Structure 1
Amino acid sequence: MPDWKNCSALVLDDSALQREFAVALLHEMGFENVRQATDGLDAICILEALPPGGVDFILSDLDMPGMDGVEFLQKVAKNQWAQHVVVMSARDSRILDAVENMAAEDEGLSLLCALPKPLSRDRLERALRQAEWGNAGASAEREVDQDTLDEIRQAIDAGNFVPYYQPKVDIATGLVRGVEALARWEHPERGLIFPDRFIPALTLEQSVLMRQFTLQMMKVVMADLSAWLSRGVSLSVALNMPAEALLDMTLADKLFQMTQAAGVPARMVILEVTETMVMRNLSVSIGSLARMRLKGFGLSMDDYGVGYSSMQQLSRCPFTELKIDRSFVDGAVNHPSRRVILESAIQMGQRLGLATVAEGVETEADWNLLKELGCEMGQGYFTGRPMPASEVMGWIKSRRGKMAEPA
Structure 2
Amino acid sequence: MTQARHHGGDHQPRLFRRRAAGVWGSVRRRAAGQLARKMPVLPVLVLAVVVLVDIVGGAGMVWLPLLAAGPALAAATNGPRGVLCAGLLATALGTALGTGNSVPAGELMAVLSALLAVTAASGLASALHGRRERVLAAVRSVAEAAQHAVLQPVPETVGPFRVAVRYSAAAAEARIGGDLYALVPTPHGVRLIVGDVRGKGLPAVGTAALVLGVFREAAHDERDLLAVVGRIERSLARNLGPDDFVTAVVAGCPRSGHLEVVNCGHAPPLLISASGDVRAVEATHPAPPLGLRALSGQAPGLQRLPFAVGEQLLLYTDGVTEARDHAREFYPLVEGVTRHVSDEPARTLTALHDELLAHVGGRLHDDAALLLIRKETADYGAAPLPSRVQAAL
Give the TM interval when normalised to the shorter protein: under 0.3
* Bigger helix fraction: 2
> Could you state the TM-score of these two structures normalised by the residue count of structure 2?
0.25
**Bigger RCO (CA 8 Å, 6+ sep):** 2
Larger Rg: 1 or 2?
A: 2
> Could you state the TM-score of these two structures normalised by the residue count of structure 1?
0.24
* Bigger strand fraction: 1
